[in-house]
């Protein structure tokens, strides 16, 4: 059951026709499907039934409050990486005891905000951060629950910019330094080690790297027990991949079953931090063809969405499927689909075979629900796009399109 499908030759988002949405809200336009978000969250979360677990959606994938509220209503906790994301999660009604805080550069003010809120735990990424957390907690008369992000030195076999669990990456602590960090907690009055954590990368299309990391963490857990350190949480991060093109990532149930097999009898509560797998295929970006042009080397479709709206193709060379919103049955040609921004790196697709669409027609860019709007900018003074959340026949403006006034508001 797909929630972005063609009905009578017109792309729909759930029960609503996409051209109707564009007539009302313009382009570029992000459209999210509530039914898809719900289905993805429930499919993921239930894959771990039988394991004591908490699914903490990774806010940075899609942090719109409407999306966070929907997921919080389904029982999701949240994985945050900034004070801004904490603010959003709390605003969306997420109980603080379901929030975990990751990230290599938490500032003292952000640590204070998270302690004030009473989050479940900090995933600590350095000794310097541990000392800062102890200091801030002490000044507030609180004890901070911490877990250390362990870098298991596992190759997730994904794009280098989104692989995070290898020795050369900036994230976490290597195994030996992690042991020392746990030992250090005994000398700090305001931190309590409660868990261990890893997040090895994003868009993983096999479970083998997850299991390799898990084995290293379980060995590590034995060493902690040997030191008399007793923890309760095992946070395995996010990273499960999705289908953008031809990828065949494992279904969450396959991951769930592998975890259940490996963790039988291990008395740890498992935390999972999925982002992309929940939101990625729950959103599309709709754009209008502004001009077409051909040079001796290329055919171009110049569209009104650009790298400032969806940076993944420019940043990672990512593939996003692109289709006509109303297929016209024309012959295909090879196109570069490019935006109006003054950068040769501004493209949504290169050398893509597409029907020969014409000026004024609409294209849908699929799999744009994660790391789409959240990575958007105002480069070239382009107001950021409108975001809609569709639920059956109901359309909610989840975020208004920015205006020119918004662009300069903080400057005057």
Tell me which residues are annotated as active site: 342
The distance of closest approach from Cβ of residue 318 to ligand PLP in the complex, given in angstroms and rounded to an integer, is 13
E strand or H helix at 263, and its extent?
helix 252-263
Q: Tell me if 233 is assigned to a ligand binding site.
A: no
Backbone phi, psi, residue 74, to 5°: -90, 0
The distance of closest approach from Cβ of residue 202 to ligand PLP in the complex, given in angstroms and rounded to an integer, is 3
The dihedral over CA atoms of 244, 245, 249, 251, expressed in degrees to the nearest 10, equals: 70
Question: Residue 150: which region, alpha, beta or left (left: phi > 0; alpha: psi -120 to 50)?
Answer: beta
**Two structure tokens written together for 286:** 């709709």
The distance of closest approach from Cβ of residue 58 to ligand PLP in the complex, given in angstroms and rounded to an integer, is 3
The distance of closest approach from Cβ of residue 53 to ligand PLP in the complex, given in angstroms and rounded to an integer, is 15
For residue 59, give the 3-state DSSP assignment.
helix
Q: Residues with Cβ < 8 Å from 133, sequence gap 6 or more?
A: 106, 111, 122, 124, 144, 146, 190, 191
Q: Tell me if 274 is assigned to a ligand binding site.
A: yes
The distance of closest approach from Cβ of residue 168 to ligand PLP in the complex, given in angstroms and rounded to an integer, is 17
Q: Residues with Cβ < 8 Å from 71, sequence gap 6 or more?
A: 37, 41, 57, 78, 278
Minimum CB distance to ligand PLP smaller for 279 or for 395: 279
Minimum CB distance to ligand PLP smaller for 375 or for 407: 375
Strand partners, 390: 33, 395
The distance of closest approach from Cβ of residue 255 to ligand PLP in the complex, given in angstroms and rounded to an integer, is 11
Q: What are the residue ranges of helices labelled H in 47-172?
A: 65-73, 83-91, 108-117, 127-139
Minimum CB distance to ligand PLP smaller for 36 or for 190: 36
Q: Tell me if 312 is assigned to a ligand binding site.
A: yes
Minimum CB distance to ligand PLP smaller for 38 or for 164: 164
**Two structure tokens written together for 59:** 């806010």
Minimum CB distance to ligand PLP smaller for 181 or for 272: 272
Q: Tell me if 371 is assigned to a ligand binding site.
A: yes
**DSSP codes, 284-331:** EEEEEEEEEEE-SS-EEEEES--TTT--HHHHH-----EEESS---PP
Q: Tell me if 316 is assigned to a ligand binding site.
A: yes
Backbone phi, psi, residue 342, to 5°: -85, 65
Minimum CB distance to ligand PLP smaller for 199 or for 384: 199
The half-sphere exposure of 59 on its side-chain side, counting CA atoms within 13 A, is 30
If you search the block for the tokens 């261990």, which residue do you land on? 196
- Summarize as ranges the residues that interact with ligand PLP (CB under 6 A): 58, 60-61, 79, 81, 102, 199, 202, 237-240, 273-277
Q: Tell me if 276 is assigned to a ligand binding site.
A: yes
The distance of closest approach from Cβ of residue 128 to ligand PLP in the complex, given in angstroms and rounded to an integer, is 18
Minimum CB distance to ligand PLP smaller for 79 or for 134: 79
Q: Cα dist. 58→223, 242, 304, 383, 406 in Å?
A: 29, 15, 29, 25, 27
Cα separation of 36 and 1, whole Å? 9
Known binding residues for pyridoxal 5'-phosphate? 239, 273-276, 371
- Known binding positions: 239, 273-276, 312, 316, 343, 371
Residues tagged in the binding site annotation for substrate: 276, 312, 316, 343, 371
């Amino acid at each position: 059951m797909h929630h972005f499908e063609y009905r009578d030759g017109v792309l729909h988002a759930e029960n609503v026709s996409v051209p109707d949405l564009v007539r009302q809200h313009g382009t570029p336009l992000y459209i999210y499907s509530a039914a898809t978000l719900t289905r993805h969250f429930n499919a993921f979360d239930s894959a771990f039934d039988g394991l004591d677990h908490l699914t903490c959606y990774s806010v940075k994938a899609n942090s719109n409050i409407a999306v966070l509220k929907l997921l919080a209503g389904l029982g999701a906790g949240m994985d945050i990486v900034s004070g801004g994301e904490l603010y959003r999660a709390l605003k969306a009604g997420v109980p603080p005891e379901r929030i975990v805080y990751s990230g290599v550069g938490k500032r003292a003010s952000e640590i204070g905000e998270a302690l004030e809120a009473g989050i479940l735990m900090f995933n600590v990424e350095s000794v310097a951060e541990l000392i800062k957390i102890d200091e801030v907690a002490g000044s507030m008369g609180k004890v901070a629950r911490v877990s250390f992000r362990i870098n298991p030195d596992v190759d997730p076999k994904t794009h280098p910019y989104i692989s995070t669990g290898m020795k050369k990456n900036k994230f976490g602590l290597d195994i030996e330094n992690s042991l020392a960090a746990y030992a250090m907690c005994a000398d700090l009055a305001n931190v309590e080690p409660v868990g261990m954590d890893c997040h090895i990368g994003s868009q993983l299309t096999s479970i083998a790297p997850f299991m390799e990391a898990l084995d290293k963490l379980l060995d590590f857990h034995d060493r902690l027990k040997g030191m008399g350190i007793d923890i309760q949480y095992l946070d395995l991060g996010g990273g499960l991949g999705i289908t953008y093109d031809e990828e065949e990532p494992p279904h969450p149930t396959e991951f769930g079953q592998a975890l259940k097999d490996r963790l039988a009898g291990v008395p740890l509560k498992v935390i999972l931090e999925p982002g992309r797998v929940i939101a990625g295929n729950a959103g599309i970006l709709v754009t209008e063809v502004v001009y077409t042009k051909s040079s001796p080397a290329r055919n171009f479709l110049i569209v009104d969405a650009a790298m400032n709206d969806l940076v993944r193709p420019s940043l990672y060379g990512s593939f996003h499927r692109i289709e006509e919103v109303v297929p016209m049955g024309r012959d295909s040609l090879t196109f570069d689909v490019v935006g109006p921004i003054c950068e040769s790196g501004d493209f949504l697709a290169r050398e893509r075979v597409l029907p020969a669409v014409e000026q004024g027609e609409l294209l849908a860019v699929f799999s744009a629900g994660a790391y789409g709007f959240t990575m958007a900018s105002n480069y070239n003074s382009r107001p950021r796009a409108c975001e809609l959340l569709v639920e059956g026949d109901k359309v909610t403006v989840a975020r208004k399109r920015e205006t020119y006034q918004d662009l300069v508001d903080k400057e005057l």
